[in-house]
C-alpha cells in the first residue's frame, strides 16, 4: 500500500528558484488570510493558529474539501504567545481577576482542536510536541494509521510561532548555537489513493546515525536530493545533491515540515531532475527521515 | 487490538495519596483522600482553593534524584522519576535498549518559567538559558537522558487526555511491531499557571470536589505522575514476566463542539467509548466497571454521563477517582490506568469520595465506598480541551 501526499501548503521564509536553488526571504511569505479565515475570528488567533489553520484549510481546499479521518499536528513550542500572555498577566495582576481567553488558547492542542471544531470533524485528533521531532511524530502517526487501515486520509500539520516578546526569553531553549529563530507552518493531506503525479512517501523512520548512512549508501544519487532540515546530522558526503536549511534559514522546531513542503514543490517542478527527495530531521540522539518520490 | 494483546508488566505512580503503587492501593482501599489545602506551591490561592498536592518541595524531590542541587528541573520531571523507576523495576525489563518512551505533559517546564518571570518582574537578572526546559519536549529528553532510554522518544500534549493517549499510542506501536517495549505515561505538576487558568474559567471548587454528584461545584486540581511498561503478551510470556493486565482497546475522537466545554449529548465521548469497544472487540455488557473522567464540573459530568447512557443499556458501576487525587491534567489518564489495574488485580472498585446523590437527569448513580466486585474489563475515560476524547479498555 502506498501513502501519497495529495495536497500541501506552507507558510515559510524560503524562495525556490530555478533548478532547485533555494534562498531565504527576509520575511515570511504570508497569504491573504481572510480568503480562508473569517476576519472576525482572526483577531483572536495567535500567529501559530493563523499559520496552522490557513495552511490546513488551503490543503483541504486543494483536496476538494474532503473531511479527513483525522487531524494530527506537530508543534515544538505550542501556543507560546498565549502562554506568555497569560503568565505575564498573572504576574502583573498578582493572580487576581484574570480573563481566561489566553489560557483557553494556550494548550498545545488548540490548533488540532480548533480545526476539529471548524471542520465538524469527529475523527482522530492528536498533537505531538517533541522539539525537532514534533512534525515527524505527527506524520509517522498518520502513516501508521493509514498502514493499519484506520481510514483513508489524514491532515498533518506542523506549526510554530516565535513572537518577538517570547524570542527574547526562550531563544536559548535549544542548544543550537546562535541561530536566529523563525516560525511558520506546513500542512499536508496524506492518503492511500494516488492522484496524477502525487508524491509518494516511500519510506520514513527514526534511526540512529549509522543506520542512516547505510540507507544513504543504497539510493540512486543521480536523481536524489537531500534536504537537511536540522543541524544534528553532521557533514553529508559531497557526492549527494543537497539543500541545507540549517545554513539557509533561521531555525524552527518544525523545519522538517518546511523541508517536506519544499521537497513536494521541487518534485512537482515541471522540468525537475529529481525523482527522490530525502528530508532529514530529528534530535541529537535520533535522526528522522522522510523519503518522498515521484514516478 | 484484540488479536495481539498488549501486556502491562510494570507500573509506577506518584500522587497526592502517596508515592508508589502499593501505598496508592492502601489509600484507595481505605477511602483516604489526597485533597488538602495548598501549602507547598507559592500562590495567592493558598487557603482558598484545595488541591491534590504532593507535600514535598522541589528541593526535597530533587534530593531524592541524581540531579545536582543547583539545577532547576521541572517539577513534573521530579515527580516522574520515582514513578518511572518503580515501573521499570516492577517490569523486570532486561534493559532499555529496545524501549520507546511516550511521555505526556501539558505543563512541561512552565513551573520554572513562571518563577523566572516573577523574579524578572522584580528586577532580578535572568539569563535566557534558564528557560531551556520550558517546552514539553525538554522534559521528555531530560527523562530519557536520566534513565538512558535508548528507543524512540515521543511527547504528546492533548491537554487532559494526554497520558491516556500516550498509553493507547504506545500499545498501537507495539502492535505494529516497531518496538519491543514501551514506557508510557505522563506527569503534570501543580503550578500557578494552571491554577489561575482554571480559576479564571470559574470551574474550581472551593471545597473538596464532588464528582458525579448532583451538588458538584467544580474540580480540584491535582498533581502527579504515572507510567506503565508495555510489551506484547508473547514477549512477556517468553521472558517469564509477571503480567499485571492488558491494554485491550483504545480510541481517540474529537467532540467538535467547543474549545473548553463538552457537547451536551457527549458526542465525542460517545464515539471514543464506542471506538474503544470496537477496538477491543467487546460489547458494552462486557465492561464491569467504568473509571470516569468525572472532573466534578457541571458540564463534564453531565455530558459524560449522557454519553455513557447512550452506550450502556445496563450501566456498570461508575466512579471518579479524581475525588482522591484531584484532576492531575496530563497525568490523569495514566494515574487512572494504574488505579484500573489495581481494581483488576484486587477485584475491588474504588469509589467517588463524598458522593451522595445522583445527577438530575441521569438514570445511574455512583457510590461512595470501596466495593468488592468481579472485574474483568474496565473502561477508563479521559477528555481534554480542544474536544479531545480518549477511551481505554483494560482487561485481566
Interchain CB contact of A239 with B (< 8 Å):
no
**What confidence score (pLDDT) does residue A210 get?**
77
**Does B122 lie at the interface with A, CB-CB under 8 angstroms?**
no
What mean pLDDT, rounded, does chain B reach? 96
Domain annotation covers residue B1: no
Asked if B165 reaches chain A (Cβ–Cβ under 8 Å), the answer is yes
Q: H/E/C letters for each residue in B340-352?
A: HHHHHHHCEECCC
CB-based contact B224:B81 (threshold 8 Å): no
Confidence of residue A286 (pLDDT cuts 50, 70, 90): confident
B138 touches chain A (CB under 8 A): yes
Higher pLDDT, A283 or A260: A260
Structural domains in chain A?
Answer: 4-191 (3.40.47.10), 200-293 (no CATH)
Quote the distance between the C-alpha of residue A174 and its chain's center. 18
Q: Classify residue B87: in a domain, yes or no.
A: yes
The alpha carbon of residue A42 is apart from the nearest alpha carbon of chain B, in Å, by 16
pLDDT > 90: percent of chain B? 95
**What is the structure's pLDDT at B1?**
44
Please state, in angstroms and rounded to a whole number, the distance separating the CA atoms of residues B366 and B69. Answer: 46
3-state SS, residue B275: helix
Chosen for mutation from B152, B172, B260 (greatest number of chain A CBs closer than 10 Å) is B152
Cβ contact B385–A78 (<8 Å): no
Q: Does any domain span residue B2?
A: no
Residue A169 reports pLDDT greater than 70: no
B243 has a chain A CB within 8 A of its CB: no
Q: What is the spatial distance between Cα B334 and Cα A51, in angstroms, rounded to a whole number?
A: 33
Q: pTM for this structure?
A: 0.97
10 Å CB burial of residue B333 (0-12, 13-18, 19+) is buried
d(CA B292, CA B367): 12
Q: How far is residue B256's CA from residue B112's CA, in Å, rounded to a whole number?
A: 33
Identify the active-site residue in B18, B99, B209, B293.
B293
In a domain, B148, yes or no: yes
Q: Would you say the C-alpha torsion B352, B203, B224, B316 has a positive or negative sign?
A: positive
Q: Find the mean pLDDT for residues A146-163.
A: 96
Q: Do B256 and A122 touch (CB under 8 A)?
A: yes
Q: How many CB atoms lie within 10 A of CB A35?
A: 10
Percent of chain B with pLDDT over 70: 99
CB atoms within 10 A of CB B118: 17
CATH code, B301: 3.40.47.10
Quote the pLDDT of residue B367.
97
Alpha-carbon gap, residue B163 to B102, rounded angstroms: 8
| Rg from Cα positions in chain B | 20
Selected for mutation to probe chain B from A72, A87, A151, A159 (highest B CB count within 10 Å) is: A87
Between A165 and B332, residue with greater pLDDT: B332
Partner B contacted by A5 (CB < 8 A): no
- Which 3-state string (H, E, C) describes chain A? CCCEEEEEEEECCEEECHHHCEEECCCCCCCCHHHCCCHHHHCCCCHHHHHHHHHHHHHHHHCCCCCCCEEEEECCCCCHHHHHHHHHHHHHCCCCCCCCHHHHCCCCCHHHHHHHHHCCCCCEEEEECCHHHHHHHHHHHHHHHHHCCCCCEEEEEEEECCCHHHHHHHCCCCCCCCCCECCEEEEEEEECCCCCCCCEEEEEEEECHHHHHHHHHCCCHHHEEEEECCCCCCCCCCCCEEEEHHHHCCECCCHHHHHHHHHHHHHHCCCCCCCEEEEEEECCCCEEEEEEECC
Alpha-carbon dihedral angle through residues A138, B147, B161, B175, given to the nearest 10 degrees: 60
Neighbours of B237 (CB within 10 A): 12
Is B128 known to be catalytic?
Answer: no
Answer whether B281 touches A (CB < 8 Å): no
Q: Residue B291: phi, psi to the nearest 5?
A: -90, 100
For range B180-191, the mean pLDDT: 98
Q: Is A295 on the interface with B (CB under 8 A)?
A: no
Measured distance CA(A58)–CA(A70) in Å, rounded:
16
Instruction: Pull the grid cell for residue B187.
Output: 506527569
Q: What is the count of structural domains for chain B?
A: 1
Q: How many CB pairs under 8 A join A and B?
A: 196
Distance CA(A245)–CA(A235), nearest Å, equals 13
C-alpha closest to that of A188 among A136, A236, A114, A148: A136
- Residue B184: its pLDDT value, please? 98
Tell me the shortest Cα–Cα distance from A21 to chain B, in angstroms: 33
What pLDDT score was predicted for residue A176? 57
B130 in any annotated domain? yes
Residue A171 pLDDT more than 70? no
What does the pLDDT read at residue A285? 75
The answer to whether the Cβ–Cβ distance between A130 and B137 falls below 8 Å is: yes
Is residue B274 in a domain?
A: yes
pLDDT tens digits for range B109-138: 999 999 999 999 999 988 878 888 999 999
Q: Per the CB < 8 Å rule, is A87 touching B200? A: no
The 3-state secondary structure of B38-63 reads CCCCCCCCCCCCCEECCCCCHHHHHH
What's the average model confidence in pLDDT over A124-144? Answer: 97
Residue-level pLDDT at A207: 87
Model confidence at B394, in pLDDT bands (50, 70, 90)?
very high
Query: How many CA atoms are closer than 13 Å to the CA of B166, on its beta-carbon side?
Result: 39
How confident is the model at residue A8, as a pLDDT? Answer: 98
Can you tell me the distance from the alpha carbon of A131 to that of B134, in angstroms, rounded to the nearest whole number?
11
- Substitution target from A97, A116, A207 for chain B, most B beta carbons within 10 A: A116
Check CB contact under 8 Å for A116 and B386.
yes
Query: Residue B3 domain-assigned?
Result: no
> Does the pLDDT of residue A173 top 70, yes or no?
no
Reported as a pLDDT band with limits 50, 70 and 90, residue A1 is confident
pLDDT classification of A216: cutoffs 50, 70, 90: confident
Judged by a CB distance cut-off of 8 A, whether residue A288 touches chain B is no
Q: Is B158 on the interface with A (CB under 8 A)?
A: yes
Partner residue facing A172 (CB), from B118, B129, B258 = B129
Residues of chain A neighbouring B254 (CB-CB closer than 8 A): 71, 112-113, 116-117, 121-125
pLDDT band at B66 (very low <50, low <70, confident <90, very high): very high
Q: How far, in Å, CA of A19 to CA of A274, rounded?
A: 10
**Per the CB < 8 Å rule, is B172 touching A170?**
no
Question: What pLDDT is stored for residue B378 in this prediction?
Answer: 98
Choosing from B18, B99, B136, B160, the catalytic residue is B160
Nearest C-alpha neighbor of B87 from the set B166, B43, B21, B155: B21
Return mean pLDDT, chain A: 92
Is the Cβ of A252 closer than 8 Å to some Cβ of chain B?
Answer: no
For chain B positions 365-394, those within 8 Å of chain A (CB to CB) are 384-388
Q: Do A172 and B132 touch (CB under 8 A)?
A: yes
A142: nearest CA partner in chain B? B169
Partner residue opposite A95 with nearest CB, options B44, B136, B137 = B44
DSSP output for B128-148: GGGGTT-SHHHHHHHHHHHHT
| Per-residue model confidence (pLDDT) at position B2 | 43
Query: pLDDT tens across B293-317, in order?
Result: 999 999 999 999 999 999 999 999 9
A113 and B259 in contact by Cβ < 8 A? yes
Among the residue ranges A95-104, A165-174, B98-107, B369-378, the one predicted with the least confidence is A165-174
Angle at A209 between CA A208 and CA A210, to 5 degrees: 100
Q: Does B31 touch chain A (CB under 8 A)?
A: no
Active site residue B389: no
| pLDDT tens track for B91-104 | 999 989 999 999 99
**What pLDDT band is residue A186 in, cutting at 50, 70 and 90?**
very high
Q: Residue window 38-97, chain A: list those with CB within 8 Å of chain B.
A: 71, 76-78, 83, 86-88, 90-92, 94-96
In this structure, what C-alpha cell is assigned to residue B280? 477491543
pLDDT band at A175 (very low <50, low <70, confident <90, very high): low
Our answer to whether residue B293 is catalytic in this structure is: yes
In angstroms, what CA-CA distances link B313 with A37, B278, B309?
43, 17, 7
What is the Cα–Cα distance from B354 to A106, expressed in whole angstroms? 32
Are B138 and A284 contacting, i.e. CB atoms less than 8 angstroms apart? Answer: no
Q: Is the pLDDT of residue B42 over 70?
A: yes
Contact B196 A98 (CB under 8 A): yes
pLDDT of residue A174: 57
The whole-number average pLDDT for the span A255-266 is 98
Q: Which three cell numbers stand for residue B138?
A: 525538554
| Per-residue pLDDT, B380 | 98
Q: What is the CA radius of gyration of chain A?
A: 19
Average confidence (pLDDT) over B172-188: 95
For residue B380, how many C-alpha atoms fall within 13 Å in the half-sphere facing its CB?
A: 34
Give pLDDT, residue A167. 64
- Mind listing the pLDDT tens digit for each residue in B81-92? 999 999 999 999
**A214 pLDDT exceeds 50?**
yes
d(CA B170, CA A34): 39
Rounded Cα gap, residues A134 and A48, in angstroms: 14
Instruction: Quote the CA–CA distance of A107 and A224 in Å, as a whole number.
Output: 39
Inform me whether the pLDDT recorded for B47 exceeds 80. Answer: yes
Is residue B342, in this structure, part of any structural domain at all?
Answer: yes
Contact criterion met (CB < 8 Å) for A107 and B267 = no
* Contact assessment for residue A157 and residue A49, using Cβ atoms and an 8 Å cutoff: no
CA distance A123 to B91: 34
> CA-to-CA distance for B282 and A69, rounded, in angstroms?
23
Q: Are strands B181-188 and B99-104 parallel, antiparallel or unpaired?
A: parallel
Query: Which chain A residue shows the shortest CA-CA distance from B389?
Result: A125
**Chain A CA closest to residue B142:** A130
pLDDT at B3: 58
Q: Which of B36-45, B46-55, B59-68, B120-129 is the least confident region?
A: B120-129
Q: Is A151 left (phi over 0), alpha (psi -120 to 50) or beta?
A: left
> Is the Cβ pair A133, B134 closer than 8 Å?
no
Task: Confirm or reject contact between B118 and chain A (CB < 8 A).
Answer: yes
Neighbours of A98 (CB within 10 A): 18
| Residue B253: domain span | 8-395
- When pLDDT is averaged across residues A129-143 and rounded to a whole number, the result is 97
Band of pLDDT at residue B354, cut at 50, 70 and 90: very high
CA distance B390 to B365: 22
User: Which alpha helices (H) appear in chain B, and where do they start and end?
Assistant: 21-29, 58-63, 75-91, 110-121, 136-147, 162-175, 192-200, 233-238, 267-280, 298-311, 322-325, 332-346
Q: Is B12 on the interface with A (CB under 8 A)?
A: no
Amino acid at each position: 500500500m502506498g501513502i501519497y501526499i495529495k495536497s500541501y501548503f506552507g507558510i515559510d521564509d524560503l524562495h525556490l528558484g530555478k533548478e532547485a536553488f533555494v534562498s531565504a526571504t527576509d520575511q515570511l511569505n504570508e497569504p491573504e488570510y481572510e480568503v480562508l479565515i473569517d476576519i472576525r475570528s482572526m483577531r483572536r488567533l495567535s500567529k501559530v493558529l493563523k499559520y496552522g489553520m490557513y495552511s490546513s484549510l488551503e490543503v483541504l481546499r486543494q483536496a476538494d474539501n474532503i473531511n479527513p479521518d483525522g487531524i494530527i499536528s506537530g508543534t515544538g513550542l505550542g501556543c507560546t504567545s498565549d502562554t506568555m500572555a497569560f503568565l505575564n498577566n498573572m504576574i502583573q495582576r498578582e493572580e487576581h481577576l484574570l480573563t481566561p481567553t489566553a489560557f483557553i488558547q494556550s494548550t498545545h492542542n488548540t490548533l488540532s482542536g480548533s480545526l476539529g471544531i471548524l471542520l465538524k470533524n469527529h475523527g482522530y485528533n492528536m498533537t505531538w510536541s517533541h522539539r525537532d521531532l514534533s512534525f515527524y511524530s505527527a506524520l509517522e502517526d498518520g502513516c501508521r494509521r493509514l498502514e493499519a487501515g484506520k481510514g483513508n486520509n489524514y491532515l498533518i500539520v506542523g506549526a510554530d510561532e516565535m513572537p518577538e516578546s517570547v524570542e527574547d526569553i526562550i531563544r536559548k531553549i535549544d542548544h543550537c548555537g546562535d541561530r536566529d529563530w523563525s516560525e511558520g507552518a506546513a500542512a499536508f493531506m496524506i492518503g492511500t489513493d494516488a492522484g496524477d503525479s502525487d508524491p509518494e512517501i516511500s519510506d520514513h523512520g527514526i534511526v540512529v546515525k549509522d543506520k542512516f548512512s547505510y540507507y544513504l549508501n543504497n539510493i540512486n544519487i543521480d536523481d536524489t536530493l537531500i534536504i537537511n532540515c536540522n543541524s544534528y546530522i553532521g557533514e553529508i558526503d559531497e557526492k549527494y545533491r543537497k539543500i541545507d536549511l540549517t545554513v539557509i534559514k533561521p531555525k524552527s522546531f518544525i523545519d522538517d515540515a518546511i523541508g517536506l513542503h519544499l521537497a513536494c514543490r521541487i518534485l512537482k517542478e515541471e522540468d525537475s531532475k529529481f525523482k527522490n527527495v530525502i528530508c532529514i530531521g530529528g534530535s541529537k540522539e535520533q535522526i528522522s527521515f522522510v523519503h518522498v518520490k515521484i514516478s | 487490538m484484540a488479536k495481539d494483546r498488549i501486556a502491562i508488566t510494570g507500573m509506577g505512580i506518584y500522587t497526592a495519596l502517596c508515592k508508589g503503587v502499593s501505598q496508592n492501593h492502601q489509600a484507595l482501599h481505605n477511602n483516604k483522600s489526597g485533597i488538602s489545602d495548598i501549602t507547598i506551591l507559592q500562590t495567592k490561592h493558598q487557603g482558598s482553593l484545595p488541591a491534590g498536592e504532593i507535600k514535598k518541595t522541589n528541593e526535597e524531590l530533587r534530593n531524592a534524584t541524581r540531579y545536582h542541587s543547583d539545577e532547576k528541573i521541572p517539577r513534573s520531571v521530579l515527580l516522574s522519576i520515582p514513578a518511572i523507576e518503580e515501573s521499570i523495576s516492577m517490569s523486570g525489563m532486561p534493559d532499555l535498549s529496545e524501549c520507546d518512551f511516550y511521555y505526556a505533559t501539558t505543563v512541561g517546564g512552565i513551573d520554572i518559567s513562571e518563577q523566572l518571570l516573577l523574579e524578572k518582574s522584580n528586577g532580578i537578572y535572568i539569563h535566557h538559558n534558564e528557560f531551556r526546559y520550558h517546552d514539553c519536549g525538554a522534559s521528555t529528553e531530560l527523562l530519557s537522558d536520566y534513565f538512558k532510554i535508548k528507543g524512540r522518544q515521543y511527547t504528546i500534549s492533548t491537554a487532559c487526555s494526554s497520558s491516556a493517549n500516550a498509553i493507547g499510542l504506545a500499545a498501537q506501536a507495539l502492535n505494529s511491531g516497531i518496538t519491543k517495549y514501551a514506557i508510557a505515561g505522563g506527569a503534570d505538576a501543580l503550578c500557578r499557571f494552571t491554577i489561575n487558568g482554571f480559576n479564571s474559567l470559574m470551574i474550581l471548587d472551593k471545597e473538596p470536589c464532588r464528582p458525579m454528584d448532583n451538588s458538584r461545584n467544580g474540580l480540584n486540581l491535582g498533581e502527579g505522575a504515572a507510567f506503565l511498561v508495555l510489551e506484547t503478551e508473547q514477549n512477556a510470556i517468553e521472558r517469564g514476566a509477571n503480567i499485571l493486565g492488558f491494554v485491550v482497546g483504545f480510541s481517540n475522537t474529537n467532540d467538535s463542539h467547543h474549545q473548553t466545554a463538552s457537547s451536551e449529548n457527549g458526542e465525542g465521548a460517545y464515539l471514543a467509548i464506542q471506538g474503544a469497544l470496537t477496538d477491543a472487540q467487546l460489547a458494552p455488557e462486557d465492561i464491569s466497571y467504568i473509571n470516569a473522567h468525572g472532573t466534578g464540573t457541571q458540564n463534564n459530568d453531565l455530558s459524560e454521563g449522557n454519553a455513557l447512557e447512550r452506550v450502556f443499556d445496563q450501566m456498570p458501576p461508575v466512579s471518579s477517582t479524581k475525588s482522591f487525587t484531584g484532576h492531575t491534567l496530563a497525568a490523569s489518564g495514566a494515574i487512572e490506568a494504574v488505579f484500573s489495574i489495581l481494581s483488576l488485580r484486587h477485584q475491588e472498585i474504588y469509589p467517588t469520595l463524598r458522593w451522595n446523590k445522583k445527577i438530575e437527569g441521569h438514570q445511574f448513580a455512583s457510590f461512595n465506598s470501596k466495593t468488592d466486585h468481579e472485574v474483568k474489563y474496565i473502561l477508563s475515560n479521559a477528555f481534554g480541551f480542544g474536544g479531545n476524547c480518549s477511551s481505554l479498555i483494560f482487561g485481566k
